[in-house]
Amino acid sequence: MTEKRGQNSPKDEDDTTNKDISKCTKLFFYRYLIIQIAQIDTEASVSSVQSVVEKNKLMKINVLSALGISQLSEMQLDVSKAWHEQSDKDIVLLSPTGSGKTIAYLLPLIEHIDTNSDSVQAVVIVPSRELAMQTDEVIKKMKTDVRSLCCYGGRPAMDEHRKMNIFLPHIIIATPGRLVDHLSKRNFEVTNIRTLVIDEFDKSLEFGFQKEMEEAISMLPLVQKRVLLSATDAEQIPQFVNMNEAVRIDHLKAEERVAFSIVHSPQKDKLNTLLDLLRSLGASKSIVFLNYRDAVGRVFDFLKAQGVACEMYHGGMEQDRRERAIYKFGNGTSNVLVSTDLGSRGLDIPDTDCIIHYNLPVNEEAYTHRNGRTARWEAEGRAFMILNEEESLPDYLDENTTREYYIPKKLPPIAQPQMATIYIGKGKKDKLSKMDVMGFLCKMGGLERSDVGRIDVRDHCSYAAVSRSVLKDALRRMEGQKIKGIKTIFREAK
């Protein structure tokens, strides 16, 4: 019997059922497969995140160890927390000079650098070459895979451009003018720069820098995070900085660690009072602040003539001489640094005991930055303000919280520093290392390791601090000797 068209046979129904089952099975299998893949991706993602977290924890431990820091301060922890937990917001950090602001922003910054890339990812703008060099030095001391380069005036921009192409830095630290120079010449790519840090922003955004700052920031169009740091607050942040919603971290009200005293000078000219004050302070490391370059020169010449081991520092000096002055003061060869307010910013000189305001600070901001050169990293320091009969305490200082310092009538002789600096006429370009210098001083100079202090190897020369008591004998033994097979000059650094 012929089956009617349009009616399904049992066989057809079975085929249809089998096809439906097959479709369901396949659909179920695909769904199962998708779920499994999603689980694998999720587990891989979680594992990847955990790996990054663990890697960052380990890196932070290694960095702190390399810097010789046992734990972060409350301020540094606040910055790290704000950076990670409110990553979409900018940061404004206000904290006293010497409180560790540089490390506070560098730690979270290097965590966000992709070291697998060779591109510049962050720019740090600083107001002075000294702060640029010191920031760069801190990054290198951290001993991570993050590469940095500092750029500043006073040396050929072409040399810096050459280094950019060789070292491929992730972070560029620059003064405003030099940054504009490199950006306008397109010496490095800006397409991957997402973070902009402005250190000492109150100074960097002053009227004299504003044109260069505006020009530089305008050439960094893809910045997503801005971090501003200072020891004093600014009245306002210019519009061209393009600040987004910001987290404000204010630690300026931290406990004062500087004991402040007034010293009265019986004469209008304070030179003799300054000399007596320094004699009463013994071998303490002191910075004497004045307002003008010619005044710095006058005070320096007077102290030098009286036998005080001192250096001077101001913006009119050649860069090499300025660096040498800071080095000799920092390594203990000189007890006193006579400086303009240029020395109140960016200089990280450990163990500075005293600040002496020979000239009254021009304002409260200058006073704050001067005092910030002492009592660094939780240490304690002393500050003195010398006033003659025509001068009075500035309005921003409370007479009730100041005390008078009386210079003893019986004074000890002028204290001489325990260290001296040896100049060596060869450096990094001659394949010289700190270990080479240490070995040479001990072997050829006849010194014990305990006689040698800080060693600094630069491109074309080196400096080594040694005990003053063994200086003459060491120089006599080293005369005519070769270091790493190279004949060169060994003399006391002047």
The pLDDT tens digits of the residues spanning 115-138 come to 999 999 999 999 888 889 989 999
pLDDT at 255 over 70: no
SS3 percent helix, strand, coil of the chain, rounded to 5, is 45, 20, 40
pLDDT in tens, 354-369: 999 999 998 888 888 8
Based on the fold, state whether residues 246 and 146 are members of the same structural domain: yes
pLDDT at 1 over 50: no
Report residue 222: phi and psi, to 5°.
Answer: -105, 15
Range of the domain at 42: 16-68
Based on the fold, state whether residues 42 and 139 are members of the same structural domain: no
Based on the fold, state whether residues 327 and 397 are members of the same structural domain: yes
- The stretches of 431-490 forming alpha helices (DSSP H) are 434-443, 471-478
pLDDT at 65 over 90: no
According to the model, what pLDDT value does residue 17 have? 47
% of the chain exceeding 90 in pLDDT: 54
pLDDT at 287 over 60: yes
- The answer to whether position 367 is within a domain reads yes
Cα gap 409→267, rounded to integer Å: 16
According to the model, what pLDDT value does residue 368 have? 80
Based on the fold, state whether residues 399 and 442 are members of the same structural domain: no
pLDDT tier for residue 6 given thresholds of 50, 70 and 90:
very low
Based on the fold, state whether residues 165 and 241 are members of the same structural domain: yes
Q: Which of 250, 285, 302 is the last residue of a domain?
A: 250
pLDDT at 15 over 70: no
Q: Which residue has the tokens 């007034």?
A: 262
Cα gap 66→352, rounded to integer Å: 23
> What does the mean pLDDT of the chain come to?
84
- The answer to whether position 298 is within a domain reads yes
According to the model, what pLDDT value does residue 50 have? 47
According to the model, what pLDDT value does residue 253 have? 57
- The answer to whether position 157 is within a domain reads yes
Is residue 173 within a helix (H) or strand (E), and if so which, with residue range?
strand 171-174
- The answer to whether position 412 is within a domain reads no
Find the mean pLDDT for residues 160-167.
95
Quick check: 444 and 477 in contact, CB under 8 A?
yes
Report residue 420: phi and psi, to 5°.
Answer: -135, 160
Q: Which of 381, 404, 427 is the last residue of a domain?
A: 404
Closest CA to 197 of 183, 216, 184: 216
According to the model, what pLDDT value does residue 251 have? 82
Quick check: 279 and 412 in contact, CB under 8 A?
yes
Of the listed ranges 15-19, 413-417, 421-425, 471-475, the least confidently predicted one is 15-19
Quick check: 379 and 323 in contact, CB under 8 A?
no
Of the listed ranges 68-72, 193-197, 348-352, the least confidently predicted one is 348-352
pLDDT at 7 over 70: no
pLDDT in tens, 226-252: 999 987 766 678 888 988 888 989 887
Half-sphere exposure of 63 (CA within 13 A, CB side): 22
pLDDT tier for residue 470 given thresholds of 50, 70 and 90:
very high
Q: Which of 204, 233, 250 is the last residue of a domain?
A: 250
- Pairing outcome for strands 462-467 and 452-457: antiparallel
Quick check: 459 and 494 in contact, CB under 8 A?
no
* Total tally of structural domains belonging to the chain: 4
Based on the fold, state whether residues 61 and 156 are members of the same structural domain: no
What would the DSSP string read from start to end of 223-270? Answer: --EEEEEESS--S---GGG---SEEEEE-TTSPP-EEEEEEE-SSSS-
Cα gap 124→150, rounded to integer Å: 9
Higher pLDDT, 198 or 63: 198
According to the model, what pLDDT value does residue 259 have? 76
The conformation of residue 409, written as its DSSP 8-state character, comes to S
Find the mean pLDDT for residues 439-447.
94
Quick check: 279 and 404 in contact, CB under 8 A?
no
According to the model, what pLDDT value does residue 89 have? 92
The CATH number given to whatever domain includes residue 455 is 3.30.70.330
Q: Which residue has the tokens 């393009």?
A: 242
According to the model, what pLDDT value does residue 378 have? 47
Quick check: 414 and 306 in contact, CB under 8 A?
yes
Based on the fold, state whether residues 246 and 156 are members of the same structural domain: yes
DSSP 3-state of 432:
coil
Of the listed ranges 59-73, 313-327, 424-438, the least confidently predicted one is 59-73
According to the model, what pLDDT value does residue 208 have? 63
- The answer to whether position 375 is within a domain reads yes
- The answer to whether position 363 is within a domain reads yes
Based on the fold, state whether residues 246 and 272 are members of the same structural domain: no
Based on the fold, state whether residues 117 and 243 are members of the same structural domain: yes
Find the mean pLDDT for residues 31-47.
47
Based on the fold, state whether residues 332 and 364 are members of the same structural domain: yes
% of the chain exceeding 70 in pLDDT: 82
- The answer to whether position 136 is within a domain reads yes
Q: Which residue has the tokens 């801005």?
A: 226
The CATH number given to whatever domain includes residue 288 is 3.40.50.300
Cα gap 451→470, rounded to integer Å: 8
According to the model, what pLDDT value does residue 107 have? 92
- Pairing outcome for strands 336-339 and 310-313: parallel
Based on the fold, state whether residues 388 and 433 are members of the same structural domain: no
pLDDT in tens, 74-118: 889 999 999 988 888 999 998 877 778 999 999 999 999 999 999
pLDDT at 40 over 80: no
- The answer to whether position 2 is within a domain reads no
